[in-house]
Every structure is written in C-alpha cells, then in structure tokens.
Amino acid sequence: MDIHQTAIISPKAKIGQGCKFGPYCIIEDDVEIGDDCVFDAFSVVRSGTSMGSGNHLFEGAVVGGHPQCLGLKRSSGRVAIGDNNLIREHCTVHRSMKDDGVTEIGSDNMLMVNVHVAHDCRVGSRVLISNNTMLAGHVTVEDRAVISGAVGIHQFCRVGTMAMVGGQAHAVKDIPPFMLVDGKTTEVVGLNIVGITRNGVGAEDRKILKEMYRILYRSGLPWKEILRILGEQYNIGAGKELVRFLNTTKRGIARARRTRDGAPAETADSAE
C-alpha cells in the first residue's frame, strides 16, 4: 500500500492490496476496502462502509456519513459500494437510517462533482450522475441511467434503466425506463433513442418500445387498461422491463410534454 504520512488509517479497517491513500484522507473503523482503490486528499470513508476493488474517491469525497434526518440517533446502517466507481470531488454518500439497512451503489458508475446520495438509496451499475445532483432518501436509479447536472429527485422516486434526465429537472414521480426527460419541465419528451441504441437495444426492441410509448402516453386510455394491453402484447424483450416498472410504480410516472385529456400520465398519479 501507498499511504501518505498525513493519512489516518484505522488499524481495524480491512484493506486490500495495492491501495493508495493521499494527504489527510481518513479511513475509520469497521470499513472494508477491496484491492487497487485510490483515495485522494481529504477523502473520508466512515464506519459501516464496504467497497470492492478499483474504486477512486477524489478530493473531499465523504462516503458513509450519517443520514440527514431530524431526530434520528446515530445510525448503524451501512453503505455498500461495488467495483470500479469514480466518486468525484466533494460527493457525499450517506448510510442507511435503519440499523439493518444499506445504501447501495453498484459498479462502473461515475458520480461527478458534488453529487449527494442520501440514505437508503439504490444506485445500479454503469450509471452516470452529473454535477450538483441530489438524490433524496430511498431513491432508486437503475442500471445505465444518465442523470444530468443540478437535478433534484424526490424521496422514494425511481429512475428506470437507460432513462436520461435533463439538467435542472425536479423529479417528483417515477421516470420510466428508456425515456428522455426534459430538464426545464421534467416531462417526458420521447424515448432515449441514442442511449438505448448505444446500450445495445436492437431495432426490433426499439420498435416495440415506440409502440408501447404511443399506448402509454398518447392513447388516452385508463391506466389499468394501458397496463393490461402492455402486459398482454409487449411483455417480451426490452418491453418486459418497461411493463415491470409500470406495474410497480407507487408514486405514478412523469407525464409527457404533450398529453390528451385523460392520458395515462395524468391517471397514473394514483397507481398502486
């Protein structure tokens, strides 16, 4: 290991091979770190954190901080992080507010400068979260989603796989998989065609998703009827992922920029 003379590394921490610790970084008790991780100056890993191999915490990043909840005693919940994540300057990741709970971040993600991941969040793998974005408690971000800068996501909301959220959006409802959300209005403006194509979604699946989009956001059918049609006719391939997400929404889904009277973006608000 390469440890700067000013770094403070707890002898009770479990640390893999080949790690590097920069000036004034702090690794507390009850921490597990895999091989080949890098911790730049003033980065902090708090007790109750475990991470895999190849992670890089940049200057001032703090992982494992206590939840920001009024009246909550110091939590013994945990943070679990996978492999090969880039956690840039001044990011904060807070541990679960439940003693047996976990805030989870998968692998191969990039959290840009000043991103906040609150208690009990679930961030998948190959996710990109841009500068100054804030995930409130219990938010879920699924694999390969892209969240632009200065976005705020309300507690308990979900962002589906391969969705892209525009800058300065303020999400208060679930954002379905494969969708493109305008930052100014936080409304769905179509499929994230560029993103899903780059992620290997083939032409046939893209065709299915376009048909599903029209039914979901343009048909004007009642919410339960939309779920029935999508489940019966499109519960295959990429469509299966969208069906799963829609059937499990509790907050409702983001509405489309253009909707007809009675469109599902309106009626889904009360979906259970």
Catalytic residues: 119-120, 137
Helix ranges restricted to H, 124-202: 193-198
DSSP 3-state of 141: strand
Q: Give the H or E element holding residue 269.
A: none
Q: Residue 48's Cα: distance from chain center in Å?
A: 20
Residues 6 or more apart in contact with residue 259 via CB below 8 angstroms: 217, 265, 266
Q: Residue 157's Cα: distance from chain center in Å?
A: 10
Within 10 angstroms of residue 60's Cβ, the number of other Cβ atoms is 18
Specify the amino acid at residue 77. G
Main-chain phi, psi angles of 98, to 5 degrees = -105, 140
Specify the amino acid at residue 119. H
Q: In whole angstroms, what is the distance from residue 179 CA to residue 164 CA?
A: 6
Total number of residues shown for the chain: 272
Task: Kindly report each contact of residues 156-161 with a partner whose C-beta sits within 8 Å and lies 24 or more positions away, as own/partner.
Answer: 156/250, 156/251, 157/251, 158/245, 158/249, 158/251, 160/241, 160/242, 160/245, 161/124, 161/241
Token reading at 59: 């200057």
